[in-house]
Amino acid sequence: MTQTLPQYIGGERVGADAPEASLNPSDTTDVVARVPKGGAAEVDAAVEAAKGAFPAWSEASPEVRSDLLDKVGDTILKRREEIGRLLSREEGKTLPEGIGETVRAGRIFKYFAGEALRRHGQNLESVRPGVEIQTYRQAVGVYGLITPWNFPIAIPAWKTAPALAFGNTVVLKPAGPTPATAAALAEIIWECGAPAGVFNMIFGPGSMGAKLVEHPGVDGISFTGSQTVGAGVAQAAVARQARVQLEMGGKNPLVILDDADLERAVMVALDGSFYATGQRCTASSRLIVQDGIHDRFVQALAEKVAALKVGDALDPSTQMGPAVSEDQMETSYRYIDIAKSEGGRVVTGGGRLQLEKPGWYVQPTLIADTDKSMRINCEEVFGPVASTVRVKDYDEALAVANDGDFGLSAGIVTTSLKHARDFQRRAKAGMVMINLPTAGVDYHVPFGGIRKSSYGPREQGFAAVEFYTQTKTAYSWA
């Protein structure tokens, strides 16, 4: 069934021509949704609606906000199968991955339902006798949220839930390839009783995102996407002194030391590099392997990669679904060609898949004999492509891991407590995984990187209050 999506503005479903199509990447003859192509007028209307709703929402009892978020979370969890299937059909994740992401979104809303009641402050002693000091947190205003396609319900959830929990109002601009999944979230938020204007969602081209970033009625911007676009978002937001938070991907290293448990190392690399079709900003795209275990590791991993069943995301036997779009598919194949031209050796994969259904399928690919300076090790591919770099010892492994401009996630597989703890301290990344995949994080703890992977306060967990509230300090004398 093909949906026709409206714009969600001010408590109304605003109908419009829907010339854009969201296609099923597992079967490109299947149109998931028809999507409106909005512009400046829709951005203005959504921002005005959010501004109008802000005073009442920010001054409401925190219990009102908590109850709404808890109801949204419960509703998402009850519909996990339905939404998970839609997500997999539209984005290309396998069905278990689609359902898992949906569950994560529900849990995020329920977590921030609790945080809405825990917006605390401090009582402090003044240096002046008779004077008391209090600090407390207040809502900021209207937040523009710009979200990517690779987690089409989880990332909108982890931006929307804290914004609403702390009394802000929202205009959400989701990514073009996955509008129906985002619309499912909008429908639930409205169905659960969000007042008109508190949550708005607009569909359209990237220029709408730029308009949202530049809009004088928007007090804060949270963006997840590429470094190139993120840099422009930051400049535009800072120019008018709006709050800004950026998550811009990674080129994440996974270090495998000689003392690693080989079976564990292969499992960690397979999960981190190839699950979700490698379309995760925390994916393990650089496998940095010590010389003594390198050949055995590459051989064992290649066998597992070659055995992965690629197919329709809704097929229960599929282990890896398609890329989300033709552009993403072609990007993966382009980087495979670049790696080969620079001297990389394709151990397994690298060819174009022709399956029964027309889709954007990429053969999972492992490339060995690469140098740390090759483009395959410096630029984000965002697909099921991993490369290995051979190193002589731990010190070289750490140095290679810390190369480059990214710094989102980094991992190490080792049985050495000394090296594990040293890596935890010295890896230049916002998140460090020890004997675990670099991809895969909990919803109730801070998420974010350093260097050019992230900018501004952390997302998720208890850290979210820093971005979505402002501190007021009050002095009194009696």
Pairwise CA distance, residues 18 & 36, whole Å: 4
Residue carrying structure tokens 């993120």? 230
Residue 380 designated active-site: no
In a 13 Å sphere around the CA of 128, the CA atoms on its Cβ side amount to: 7
CB 272 within 8 A of CB 283: yes
CA 400 to each of CA 255, 393, 437: distance values in angstroms, whole numbers, following the listed order: 9, 11, 18
CB 374 within 8 A of CB 396: no
Pairwise CA distance, residues 297 & 270, whole Å: 11
Q: Name the H helices within 357-402.
A: 394-401
Report the greatest alpha carbon distance in the chain. 80
In three-state secondary structure terms, 188 is helix
Task: Classify residue 441 by its DSSP letter.
Answer: -
* 27-35, strands of its sheet edge to edge: 3-4, 27-35, 20-24
CB 279 within 8 A of CB 322: no
CA 388-345-357 angle, to 5 degrees, is 95
| Residue 144 CB contacts under 8 Å (≥ 6 apart), including other chains | 47, 171, 173, 212, 213, 215, 218, 220, 221, 222
Cα dihedral: 265, 271, 272, 273 (round 10): 100
Residue 378 designated active-site: no
CA 384 to chain centre: 17
Task: Classify residue 278 by its DSSP letter.
Answer: G
Check 91, 115, 281, 459 and give the catalytic one.
281
Residue 205, both tokens: 């081209």
Check 42, 90, 247, 459 and give the catalytic one.
247
Pairwise CA distance, residues 306 & 311, whole Å: 14
Of 21, 467, 22, 50, the closest CA to residue 218 belongs to 50
Written as one string, the DSSP assignment of 296-310 is HHHHHHHHHHHH--B
Residue 191, both tokens: 């169905």
In three-state secondary structure terms, 68 is helix
| Residue 379 CB contacts under 8 Å (≥ 6 apart), including other chains | 251, 335
In three-state secondary structure terms, 144 is strand
Catalytic residue numbers read 247, 281
